Amino acid sequence: MRNEEVVLAAKRNAAVQAAALVTGGMKVGLGTGSTTAFALEELGRRIREEGLSIVGTPTSSSAELLARKFGIPTAPLEVLLSLDVALDGADEVDPNLNLIKGRGAAHTREKIVARQADRFVVLVDDSKMVDRLGTLMPVPVEVVPMAAGVVEREISRLGGIPELRMGLRKDGPVVTDQGFWIIDARFGAIDDVEALNLALLGIPGVLDHGIFLGMATDVLVGSADGAVRRMSR
């Protein structure tokens, strides 16, 4: 099995276990990203084959399109207000179940949805586990476009290396569902994530960032051999 196939198998294993936590009548936060896409596919299968009755709130336009594709009924968060569970992936998970999210540029909506859920279940493959946040991934920071230069300067003052995220198949920056830009701030392994969390939120022009502190209630870590390790807060 190629390395790419190993990672995909691990993601799918975690996603299927996460989808199994959803029961009839639940209101479900539908996260964004490749791992969560497997969970949405599994929820769609259960709706078709098992008659599972749920309603989901997508965290992005891409999650909404997948929900539609897999036949998952949806409603906006302002209608549901509270959720039973939110399912989402992560780019990094530390031993305290703190996260870095946002490679899909949806972390602001994901954070809002996760906060309204009784349980926030994170599904990852084992490559996403780190001793300290920032070890592998930058911190995505969502910014007002006119403030991008100012925010980059402030990130540099905090010891980070900022880089405006550019589109892969389009000219110009990545634009979020809110019409904002993303600055990826690379700090290396972060010594004090709580202090960095507050410092980034305090920069004028920042909408939110991809550090999720104390929010995940469960993390399902999938491996290609079919094993799924569960960590709970």
Answer whether residue 2 shows pLDDT above 60: no
Buried-state track 105-132, b at ≥16 Cβ within 10 A, e below 16? bbbbbbbebbebbebbbbbbbbebbbee
Backbone conformation region of residue 172, classed left if phi is above 0, alpha if psi is from -120 to 50, else beta:
left
Predicted local distance difference test score (pLDDT) of residue 6: 82
Mean pLDDT is lowest, of 1-15, 171-185, 214-228, for: 1-15
More confident: 5 or 96? 96
Predicted local distance difference test score (pLDDT) of residue 3: 76
Residues of the chain with CATH 3.40.50.1360: 3-130+213-224
pLDDT, tens only, 61-84:
999 999 999 999 999 999 999 999
Question: Per CATH, is 3-130+213-224 categorized as 3.40.50.1360?
Answer: yes
Helix (H, G, I), strand (E, B) or coil at 7: helix
Answer whether residue 195 shows pLDDT above 80: yes
- The values of phi and psi at residue 67, to 5°, are -60, -45
Predicted local distance difference test score (pLDDT) of residue 61: 94
| Residues contacting residue 161 through CB under 8 Å, at least 6 positions apart | 138, 155, 185, 186, 187
From the list 98, 101, 115, the residue with the least C-alpha distance to 33 is 101
What's the distance, CA 103 to chain centroid?
Answer: 8
pLDDT band at 16, cuts 50/70/90?
A: very high
pLDDT, tens only, 197-217:
999 999 999 999 999 999 999
Q: How many helices (H) and strands (E) does the chain have?
A: 7, 13
| Residues contacting residue 23 through CB under 8 Å, at least 6 positions apart | 52
pLDDT, tens only, 17-35:
999 999 999 999 999 999 9
The third-level CATH classification (topology) of the domain covering 139-207 is Alpha-Beta Plaits (3.30.70)
* Mean pLDDT within 165-182: 90
From the list 206, 228, 209, 208, the residue with the least C-alpha distance to 219 is 228
pLDDT, tens only, 135-171:
999 999 999 999 999 999 999 999 999 999 998 877 7
Residue in the block written with tokens 């997948």 = 66
Mean pLDDT is lowest, of 104-108, 140-144, 220-224, for: 220-224
Which residues are part of the catalytic machinery?
110
Residues of the chain with CATH 3.30.70.260: 139-207
Q: What is the pTM of this model?
A: 0.92
